[in-house]
Every structure is written in C-alpha cells, then in structure tokens.
Structure 1
Amino acid sequence: MDGTTKIIEKPSEEPERESWGKKTEFLLSVVGFAVDLGNVWRFPYICFKNGGGAFLIPYLIMLVFGGLPLFYMELALGQFQRCGCLTVWNRICPLFKGVGMAICIIATFVAIYYNTIIAWAVYFFFSSFRAQPPWLTCNNTWNTPHCTTFRERALSMCFEDRNDTTASTYSNCSANATSDDYASAASTEFFEREVLEMQYSSGLDNVGPVKWTMALCLMTVFLIVYFALWKGIKSSGKAVWVTAILPYVVLIILLIRGSTLPGAYEGIKFFITPKWEMLLTITVWLDAAAQIFFSLGPGFGVLLALSSYNKFNNNCYKDALATSAINCGTSLLAGFAVFTVLGYMAHEQHKSIDEVARADVGLIFVVYPEAIATIDGSSFWAIIFFFMLIMLGLDTTFGGLEAIITGILDEWPWLRKRRELFVICLMFYCFLGGLASTTYGGIYIVQLMDVYAAPISILLVVFLEAIAVGWIYGVKQFSKDIELMIGKPPGLFWQVCWAFISPFFLLTLFVLSVLNTPPPSYGTYVYPVWANIIGWLIVLSPLLSITIYMAYAFLKAKGSFREVRY
C-alpha cells in the first residue's frame, strides 16, 4: 500500500492490438455484460423481500463503497496494462498469476451452464410463434390430469373469497374450477414436462439421455456467440448494438403494457413501499452487498478484457460511473416491469403478490410467461419477452468468453493469427460440457452449477485481486497509473476503498457465503450428499490453481520473497 514497488511506466504500445472502433461500442459491451438475466428476476424479488423502497438505501451504500470502487479498479487496471486476466499478473504481481487462471476456470464453468438457460429462452421463443402460447392451455400431450390454467385458478379463488352478500355472484364462478390439492399450473407443466421433460429423470443419479431439441437450441446459442466473437471486438462491437440496446426497448414496451393491466398499481406500490424496520436486519445489508457485486460483475476478467482495448487516455473514471448508474437504473426499470405484471397476476387470482412472486428462474420461465399469455396479443408479448431474455443472456456470454479468449491470446500471442480456430474450439468445448445440462435431468445440473460454479470462489478471487492491487502493487502506484491515463489521480475516497473498504467488503461476503450457502434445490428434490461434495470440489478447483501456482513460483524463484512477489 505504501507504493514501494518499482515504478512501471506506460506500457509500450502494441501496434497489433486493436482498439474499439467507437467509444459507444465499449460502453455497450460493458453495460451488456453487467445487465443480465439477474437484473430481471433476481433484483426485483430481493428488493421487495428486503423492504421495498427502503432496500435502496443499503443497495446504494454498497454500490458506492463496495461495488463501484472494484468496478473502477478493474476498468483502470485493464486499460493501463492493456492485457487480459493472465498476462496482467506478470506486470503487477507474478506471484498471483494463479488468480488469472482461476478467473478463466470460473468463466468456463459459467459458460458451460449459463448458456443452457439461454437455450431454454430460445426454446420458449420459437414455441411462441403460434396463435396462442402453448403454456396457456391444459389440452396438450405433456399435460397431466392435475393441470390447471391461469383462469381456472383465478375463478377457483372466487369460492374462497366470497361472503354472504356476494355468494350469489360467485356461486357460478366456474364449473371447472379445480379443488385438486395436487394442481399444477399449465405454465409449470410446459416448462418442466415439455421444455425440460424432467418427468423422465429421477434426479442426478438418473439424468437420462440428451434431449436433442434442447441440444439444438444450445448449439444455436453457441453459433451466435461464435460469430459475435470470432473477429474480436470488430465483430462483438457490432453485435452489441443489437444485443445491448434492444432489451431496453422491450423492457420499456413491457412496462407500458404492464402498467395498463388491472392490479398494476398495487404491484408497483408493493415493490417500492418502504419497510423501514427491515434496515435493522443484517441480512438486508448482506443481500444488498451480494446483489451489487454480482450485478456489476468484477472479478470475472470481463472488465479487464474489454477495457484493455480502450485508447490509453480514455476516461475510465467517467465510464465506471456511467455504466454503474445504467446497471442500477436497469434493475429498477426491470423491477417496475416485473411488478406491474405480478400485481396483475395477484389481482386476477385474488392472491397477495408475495404468493405469486418467485426468487428463481421460475419467475421468467413460469410466472411471467403465464401472465403475458392471458393478455390480448399474447404471442407477440411472449415473442418479444423471450427475445429480450436471449439478448440479455448473450451479452453476458459475450463478455465471459471474451475474458477467456483475451486472457489466453495475450499470454500466447502466436494464437492471435489463429483466433477463429481457437474460438471455435473453445465454443465446441463449452458446448460439449453443456450437453449434460440438456438431458432430462439437466435442471438439476444447472441448479448445482448455479450454486457452486462461481458465487463463492469468485469472491475470494476478487479479494486477492484487491489485495494485489491495493497492497502489493500499491495504491500510490496504481493512482499514478490512473493519473498518467486521465490526467488526474483518483481522490482519497477511492484510495481508501481500494486499500481497506473493498477488501473488507469482499472478505466478509466470502466468509458469509461459505458459512451460509444453502444446498441447491429444485422443487421437492433433495440433492444427495455426493452431489454437494462435487459442488464444493467445483468451488475449490479454481482456488487450487492459485495455491499451486504460488507454490510453483516459490520453487522456481532463486531470489527473496520480494523478488518472487514482483
């Protein structure tokens, strides 16, 4: 932290390294990566669960003192060093090069399972090109005798809500209203029995064969990703004009349409009404910290990679402020769009909003699709909704895989001439890894990976990155680097955050995640012990690369610890 490290001058210009054609392409790429599916389904639920409007206070505090400093740090580091997540450690702290390897491993894990979720959206997207969405009715081949439609459940609630003065009104509500204790929604059955076909799997011990239609959807996703990344930022910079901008158009359209539905006002009111007493609960602050961190996405190597293609004197400070603000604003926009529809569902089914809301992917694949299927022009709304989900997912995948590509190509420059071949090999590798999640029991694999692949290990990775930059490379030296780029050093606030607040923020999150991470679950399925053991091995695998490389660096070194460190 005292800046006693050797002074590193401006990195020599590399004529072969390309730069963004337009500044806007860089900003769209960063925004596209940061704004993902979690902004649509995770933030709205966490916000209302943790006090509604009151949650914005800890959310903004964690943004200012935790998320934003780390976001700014990675953008500045990548822009100054002009290299990816592997080579950058040769310049700031060779001892920590295993951190870069861990980043690549984590990014690969995420690419293997995250694209399956996009493939689900692709399946829904093509299924929407019908007169009415197939999850609206119960007369399909995949439906069970317990299937109930949205309208049937809404009408059945009439009997529960009636009173003496309205008994005659409700007495003939529905001749078909079900009282089946095992009733399941038509949208749930479409997702689980048609899209996933999980009825043919008993769990992880019997996932069944690959579902070829889902494998085809996954292949489609990887083909799109390949053609977006094969030429580097020249191709991805053009793709983000579509994938990063169109989701905002769709979100605004959905918000406008949702606000015209009955019950929409109650949904918004439920979303933003502050519950001030919740601020006294520690879990609210922890949820805010976790949401900010995983929403902005430092530590995945993406910000390093994308900013490394900036012009050296680009003002990365303004970029950090602008993109962080856009990310948070998008979360709020998505929250309003989602809760107008949840308010409509609650109104139609005579339920409270917390009864219809869900905290998992079921919100975007079961709850929201069911609601829009009942609106006039339902197929149109379904098409644009799932198109939006695909775009949001692709943007995040572009960033995650570009982090791997940039890191490896910078470390082994001879591969740059064969970038197209390397990228297609990486896509094929991730596709093969993802095939397991397209089996009948693929949902169980996705849930397992979602819990263990990144959320825990990435926290320790970014903690070590913050320590390396703030204490080994030195805050003073890092501040000089930024001054060399943008003409003025970062203020005392940023330096204190990088040296003290951000590492504490990350270490606290890591410890609490290790202690409190619940085992994965889906419905009533209980994961076997061996599955959780495998999950923790997945957590340890990237962290193992850090310790192995540190040991290798010490054994290889001939000098003192200081020489190994630098």
Structure 2
Amino acid sequence: MEAENGTPKATRSLEVVVSEANRSTWSNRTEYIMVQVGFCVGSGTIWRFPSLCQQNGGGTFFVVYVLLLFMMGIPLVFMEMALGHLVCFGVWTKIHPRLWGMGLACSMVCFLVSVYYNIFTAWSMFYLSNSFQYTLPWNQCPLVMNTSIPDPDCAQVTSSIYFWYWKTLEVTGNIEESGGIVPSLFICLLVVWLLIILISTQSLKVQGKILYYSMVIPYAILFCFLIRSFMLEGSIYGLRHLMTIKASAITSPILWKRAGTQVFYNMGLGFGSIIVLSSISKSKNCAQDAFIVAFINLVSSLLATQVVFSVLGFRATMSTRECSNQSSWKLLQLIKMGKLPIEASPPTELLKKPVKAYTMWLHHLNRDLKKKVLEYVSDCNLENQLLRYIKGPDLVFIAFAEAITKFSGSPFWSVIFFLMFINLGLSTSVGLMQGILIPLLYNFPSLQNYSLAFSVIIGCLSFLCGLLFTQRSGLYFLTLFDEFALSLPLLIVVLFENISVAWIYGAKRFMNEMWDLLGLNFSLMHECLLRYVTPVILLILLIYNLSEMLLKSPSYRAWDKRSFTTSVLPYPTWAVFLGSSLILLSILPILVGLLKGSKKPIILPLPKDSSLQLSLTSSYGLSLTSQDQQAPSSRKTSRFSEAQTEEASGSHKQPSLLSLSKSMGTAVGHVKRGDSYTGGSAQNVPSVPPLPPVARESL
C-alpha cells in the first residue's frame, strides 16, 4: 500500500482505514469453528488414528497422544490461529525477511499431501458406486464366466480381500511394475477433483455453508454407527482391546514418534491452512477457538475409534464362529476317516455356546493331541481375528467393509459410511487447496488478477500428478509419499514456525500483543510452552525421524498374488531418491529464503526514547502513533511496550505492527493526506498488495 501523492516526508503517525464491506469473513463463529474442524478432522480420523492405536498398545497410544496434544498441539494451533488473525498474509516476512520461504514451504506441503490424499476419497467413491446393490460385491466371490464355480483366486482369500486387491486396485506385485492406469479409479479421481475445484471457486458464504453441512452430516452418520455398533454381538471384545494399556509400551520411542506425527496430521499443523482460515474470522478469542477445535478433534478421534473397534469386534466374533464351525465340521470328517481319534471330537452346537468355546476346548486338549489337531485345522483365536487387516487403508477397505456385509440392510450402511468418508475427505481437501493458493497469490501479486483461472490450473495439475496413484502400483507410491512427504517436512516447517515466533519475534512480545489486541491474559505457563516445551519436543521428534530414516533401509508391503499374502520389499534406489526429493522440495523455499533473503527490515524500528502505542479506532480500523503524541490521560498503558525491553537482543528493534500488517494485507485501505509514520518517510511504508475480490471471496 502506497501513500497518497503529497504525503509529507516527515511522518509521525499512520492510520489505515478498513471498510467492513471489503473484509470478507465467515458468517458466524460457529461456521468458522466448523470449517477449522472440517480441515483438521479428515478421513485419516477414521482409518489412521484407529490403526495407530492398534499398532501401538491400544489405550497407551491414546494416553500419549492426549499428552502431546496438550503440551504441543494446542499451543501451536493457538499460535497459527493468532498469527492468521493478526497478520493474515506475509506473516513470516513480517517477523523476519529471511523467512519469506515459509509460506511457499507450507504451500508445497499442502500440494504434495493433496496430490496423494485424494486417492483415499477416490477409493471411497468407487466403493460407494458399488454399494447400491442388494448383495454387496465384496460379500461373496464372483463366479467364473458361464459356471457356478467361484473365482479360484477369490477362493484362496476372503471376498473382501479379493475385491480390494483384484477389483479396486488391480494391484501389481511390486512398485516397479506399473501395470497402467485403472480406468475406474481414473474416473473417480477426476470426479473428486472436479468437486474440489467447484467448491474452492465459490464465494466465501457458499463455501462456509457447504463445509458446515459437510461436517454435520458425517457426525450424524458416525453417531448412527456408534449406536448400531453397541447393539452388535462381540463389540465388547473390540472395545476391550482398545482400552488395553500396556505400561511397557509407553517407553517406546516409536510410539511417541507416531503419536507426535499424528498430532500434526490431526490438527493440520504446518500446512498453513489454519492461518489462512483464521485470517477471515471475526472471532478474536484464538485461545478458546484452539481449545474448542482440539477438543472436537479429540472427541472425533475417540468416537471414530470406538465405532471402528466395536465393529471390528463384531467382525472378529462372526469370523471366529465361522472358523469354529468349519474346523469342527472338518474334524468330524477326519474322525470318520480314521485320521484322528474320537477324543478329537469338537464341542457340539457351537452356535449356542460362547464364541471362545472352540478355542477353550482346544486349549484343554493334551499337548500331543492338540498338536495333531492343529495340523489339520486352525485354532480360530478371537484375538488373531480381531487384528487381521487393520493396518493402513486395509482397515477401512477390507476389515470394516467386510464387517458391514454382516449387518442387516448392509447396502444402506455401506452407502452412508462411504458417503461420510467422502465428506470428510473433501472438507480437508478444500482446506489444503486454500493453503496452496493464498500464499502463492500473496508472494506473486501478478497472479491475483487471474486467481480463478489459477485455482483451476492448480486443481488440474494436482489431478494430473494424482494419476500416479491410479496405476496398478499406486498403492506402493501412496506408501512412499505418506512416509516421505508428510512427517519429516511437517516437523521441519512447524519447528521453524515455532522458533520464528518464540525466539525471533519473541514469545513474551507475542503473548503481550495478544493481550493488547484481544484482551486475553496469559500466564507464564503459556509462554514457557511456546518458548521451551514445544521446540524441545519438535526437535526430539525431528532427530528421531532423521535417524530412523538414515539408519533403516526403507521398505514397503507388497501383495504377492502367488502366495496370497503381503511381503516386505525394499524400495528400489530410484524410489528412495524420489522420496528424498519430496522432502527437499518441501523445505527448499525455507533454505533459499535463509540464504538469499533480504537483510533489510520490513518493519521499521521505533525511534529512540519512543515506544509504539496501539489503540483501536473502529471495529476494523487501527491507529498507530508514538507515545510522545498521546496524552497520558487518554490512553491505556500497553503491556506490550513494557515487554519490549525484556526481549532478547534484536527483538526490541521490531515494533508491534502485526495488526497493521493485517489491515494492509487483507483489505482495501488508504493513507489519509497529512497522516504520518514515525521514523521514516512515506516511501518506507511496506507495500502489501490486497487480494482481488475474486480471491477474497473464494477464500
């Protein structure tokens, strides 16, 4: 923003007048909260969180997750929300000019994640399109053409596994066998991206309503599943497994690493979307908003995990009964053939007995007879049935899908479940899209006049890159991107964000500015969390991730169609190079900014013997004047001014201009003739181009 012609060189104050008509915001605070929740609570809440709970000690993982959420997640979410509310665009450049690459790094992380994240929604859309059948296609094996014989491949596995690997993915044996693009997944991914582009190009009010209802519907569906799951036989076994706490597991560094990464993933930290979404909110209580979003996120994760494990307990019970009946029938046939003695007769009427009756009978056999029996049949262990296929996407598309087939009215439950999954995926993807677009439009002002076309181009480019995952080897590329493009870049970005605010700008200055502007009073604990606790946790997680990546040979699980099992294979050299390139691509803007950034301060320092006084002039206007221009009786003493003298070396040179930066970056304002700015001429006022109306409305 430039001063009007004729503004005097000797400047003493600056007033930015912001028109409420030019400031697009969410309709109300509830809508804003729901949009933030919609971005944070995605499809990963349904499959990633329960899967991690199962792999890392059940309730033990949940305890560690909650601990890290309060020690690290909530303070960092509050920090991003506050920065978005105060500064909006160019926040990192305002803190230090060498941090200009932070916004681009967030955009790059959003782009890489959205490229592979939407394949989950495409898979869900494929399952949804196949759910409108009275007998779900993954409920039974298909027949060989013109015969009544089941497909031989399906006969070797379950029908749900067959539908997932053979019909949905048409998976190859390893990552080096492309196998070409699966046409059905190509169409589903195209539809997903058309929906994302359509929503992203709507006005702010339309987007708010769409995202609001897209979050209400999944919660309604989730509560229906919760009530239904409690009525299922054996659901207690799943819940019991979930609530198991293993004290020995709490010392595992892998558990802490996975819990910390899940906090970033669940809360949407490091993507930049929280800053963008909060920049257009009227809500000033960032601390309360951060807690509400974190609490809803935590409740959502717990609710989804309860539903998943209840349904998996039911699935395990049904599978155990089926296994017990089949084994009993086989044992009776073997006894008739004389291959087993009469003592090997299984218990009768297993359907009327507890689900563990067969396993308990087998356990009480003498050792030699038991060993001989197990040569012919399985032990049908309930715990083993519960833990089958609940890692990664298999949890939803094999285990949960199989459990739904055992519901009465299974097509209805399948339709609403995958509809919920699609809604959650789209709400997160729209947030990622804004995290890509807004920093790019700010850093490259020439694109602002073509923001609508630019949104379509980004969407099309993301779709074309996403075709990599519609290949028959796409599942393996998904694993590669999930391991390399997510955890380490997010850790690096969030660590730089934390250090920038807590140490470069100053945690005390940041907290006191929040007090001045929002009327929030923070204790020493909040400052200590932001300055010491969160950076230490982030640094430990980063070091552990780096050491694990360097010391362990990267590998992935591949489906072997010959043995009908998964096997662990090492990534080829080119795949490791690709994964390393993804990490470098994400953090490259930060490195370039640190090395090549301007040394000139963007925010002018205060003159000697003067401190900056902030006062609100209107609901959207801000006035900045020096203390020697104000009457002591007409102003309130600023806690921020007191805190300036207590900061580390260098930080006291930077006045509190975050609020001014927001006014200059988010609205169409003007500098009145005769206004002045202490410490420099009008030409030194930082110029921040406002977003065009299309970009403002699309956000």
**TM tier relative to shorter chain:** 0.7 to 0.9
Sort the Cα spacing of 1:443 and 1:285 in 2 relative to 1 into closer, same or farther, 3 A: closer
Given that 2:46 and 2:301 are in contact with CA atoms closer than 8 Å, whether structure 1 keeps it comes out as yes
2:135 equivalent in structure 1: 132
- The aligned residue for residue 369 of structure 1 is 401
Structure 1 residues 413, 140: CA separation in 2 closer, same or farther (over 3 Å shift)? farther
Partner of 2:5: none
The answer to whether the 8 Å contact 1:98/1:547 transfers is yes
**Structure-2 residue corresponding to 1:294:** 265
Q: Could you list the per-position Cα deviations for residues 308-352 of structure 1 after superposition, in whole angstroms to 9, with x for gaps in the alignment?
A: 1012x6211111011100000111101110011111121122231
Q: 1:447 to 1:287 in 2, by over 3 A?
A: closer
Residue in 1 aligned with 2:244? 273
1:557 and 1:476 map into 2 onto residues whose CA distance is 21
**Superposition deviation, residue 534 in structure 1:** 1.3
Whole-Å Cα distance in 2 between the matches of residues 90 and 516 of structure 1? 33
- Residue identity over aligned pairs, in percent, reads 31
Question: C-alpha displacement at 1:417, in angstroms?
Answer: 4.6
1:529 maps to 2:561? no
- The within-5 A match list for 1:382-461 is 382-413=414-445, 415-461=447-493
Once residues 256 and 66 of structure 1 are traced to their aligned partners in structure 2, the CA distance between those partners, rounded to angstroms, is 33
Report the secondary structure of 1:375's partner residue.
coil
Closer/same/farther in 2, CA of residues 191 and 12 from structure 1, 3 Å limit: farther
Per the TM alignment, residue 486 of structure 1 is displaced from its structure 2 partner at its CA by: 1.8
Q: 1:60: how far off?
A: 2.0
- Matched letter for residue 253 of structure 1: C
Unmatched runs of 5 consecutive residues or more in structure 1: 1-7, 149-182
52 and 445 in structure 1: CA distance in 2 versus 1, 3 angstrom threshold: closer
Instruction: Give the match for residue 189 of structure 1.
Output: 162
| Aligned pairs for 1:139-150 within 5 A | 139-140=142-143, 144-148=151-155
Which residue matches 1:176? none
In structure 2, the partner of 1:247 is: 218
Shift of 1:78: 0.6
Counterparts of 1:293-332 in structure 2, within 5 Å, are 293-311=264-282, 314-332=284-302
More helix by percentage: 1
- Among candidates 497, 506, 519, match of residue 465 of structure 1: 497
Partner Cα distance (2:291, 2:402) in 1: 37
Aligned residue type for 1:451 = E
For 2:302 and 2:15, the matched residues in 1 are separated by 39
Q: In the superposition, relative to structure 1, how do residues 80 and 10 fare at CA in structure 2: closer, same or farther (>3 Å)?
A: farther
1:234-285 C-alpha deviation (Å, 9 max, x unpaired) = 3321111222111111111111111111111111122113333433444433
Q: Which amino acid aligns with 2:213?
A: V
1:452 offset after TM fit, Å?
A: 1.1
User: Which of residues 72, 76, 87 in structure 2 aligns to 1:81?
Assistant: 87
In 2, distance between residues paired with 1:112 and 1:283? 27
AA in 1 matched with 2:116: Y
User: TM-score scaled to structure 1, two decimals?
Assistant: 0.86
Matched, 1:545 2:589: yes
CA contact 1:33–1:396 (8 Å) conserved in 2: yes
Q: Deviations 1:210-239 (Å, cap 9, x if unpaired)? A: 222211111111111112110353332111
Instruction: Note closer, same or farther for the CA distance 1:406–1:555 as it changes in structure 2 (3 Å cut).
Output: closer
SS, match of residue 522 in structure 1: strand
Aligned residue type for 2:472:
Y
2:520 is paired with a residue whose SS is: coil
C-alpha contact (below 8 Å) 1:125/1:382 kept by paired residues? yes
Corresponding letter in the other structure for 1:75: M
Number of residues of Structure 1 aligned to a counterpart in Structure 2: 518
TM-superposed CA distance for 1:562, in Å, is 6.7
Distance in 1 (CA, whole Å) between partners of 2:391 and 2:281 is 37
Range moving further from structure 2, 302-311 or 238-247: 238-247
CA distance in 1: counterparts of 2:15 and 2:297, whole angstroms? 31
> Hey, what's the Cα distance between the residues in 2 that align with 1:442 and 1:288?
26
CA RMSD of the aligned region, Å? Answer: 2.7
Q: What's 1:347 paired with?
A: 317
Quickly say closer, same or farther: Cα 1:224–1:11, change in 2 above 3 A. farther
2:232 is the alignment partner of 1:261: yes
* Structure index of larger Rg: 2
CA distance in 1, matches of 2:408, 2:47: 23
Give the Cα separation in 2 of the matches to 1:184 and 1:248: 34
1:287 and 1:267, CA in 2 relative to 1: closer, same or farther beyond 3 A? same
Aligned with residue 26 of structure 1, among 10, 13, 32 = 32
Match of residue 229, structure 1, among 183, 200, 204: 200
User: Aligned ranges for residues 476-487 of structure 1 at < 5 Å?
Assistant: 476-487=508-519
Verify: 1:96 aligned to 2:99, yes or no: yes
Q: Distance in 2 between matches of 1:309 and 1:539?
A: 30
TM-aligned CA distance change 1:366 to 1:498, over 3 Å: same
For 1:25 and 1:414, how far apart are their aligned partners in 2?
A: 32
Secondary structure (helix, strand or coil) at the match of 1:136 reads coil
Paired with 1:386 and 1:521, the residues of 2 have a C-alpha distance of: 27
1:555 Cα offset (Å): 8.1
Q: Using the alignment, how far apart are the partners of 2:453 and 2:134 within structure 1?
A: 42
Contact 1:29 1:240 in 2 (8 A): yes
Partner Cα separation in structure 2 for residue 141 and residue 234 of structure 1 = 53
Cα 1:238–1:419 change in 2 (3 A) is: farther
Letter in 2 for 1:532: V
By how many angstroms is 1:470 displaced?
Answer: 0.5
Residue of structure 2 equivalent to 1:338: 308
How far 1:357 moved relative to its partner? Answer: 4.9
Alignment partners' CA distance in 1, 2:298 and 2:143: 41
Supply the AA of the counterpart residue of 1:135. Answer: W
Map of 1:168 onto structure 2:
none
Question: 2:562 maps to what in 1?
Answer: none
TM-score, scaled to structure 2: 0.70
**1:33/1:399 contact within 8 Å kept:** yes
Displacement of 1:95 after TM fit?
Answer: 0.7
With over 3 angstroms needed to count, the CA separation of the structure-2 counterparts of 1:265 and 1:9, relative to structure 1, is: farther
Q: CA separation in 2, counterparts of 1:531 and 1:54?
A: 34
What are the superposed Cα offsets for residues 486-532 of structure 1, whole Å, 9 maximum, x if unpaired?
21243211111111111111111111112224635133262212211
Instruction: Tell me which amino acid in the other structure corresponds to 1:33.
Output: F
Moved more, 469-478 or 344-353: 344-353
**Within 2, Cα distance between the matches of 1:254 and 1:465?**
39
The DSSP-based 3-state class of the residue aligned with 1:134 is: coil
Q: Helix, strand or coil for the counterpart of 1:457?
A: helix
Q: 5+ unaligned residues in a row in structure 2: which ranges?
A: 1-12, 321-381, 559-566, 605-648, 655-699
**d(CA) in 2 for partners of 1:105, 1:99:** 10
Distance 1:252 1:520, change over 3 A: farther
Match of 2:187 among 204, 216, 233: 216
Equivalent position amino acid for 1:195 in 2? T
Residue type of the partner of 1:521?
A: Y
Query: CA 1:325–1:106 in structure 2 vs 1: closer, same or farther (change >3 Å)?
Result: same
Between the aligned partners of 1:273 and 1:429, the Cα distance in structure 2 is: 45
Secondary structure of the residue aligned to 1:490 is coil
- 1:29 corresponds to which letter in structure 2? V
Asked whether 1:44 is paired with 2:50, we answer yes
Return the letter of the residue paired with 1:98.
G
- The equivalent of 1:61 in structure 2 is 67
2:481–2:579 CA contact under 8 A, matched in 1: yes
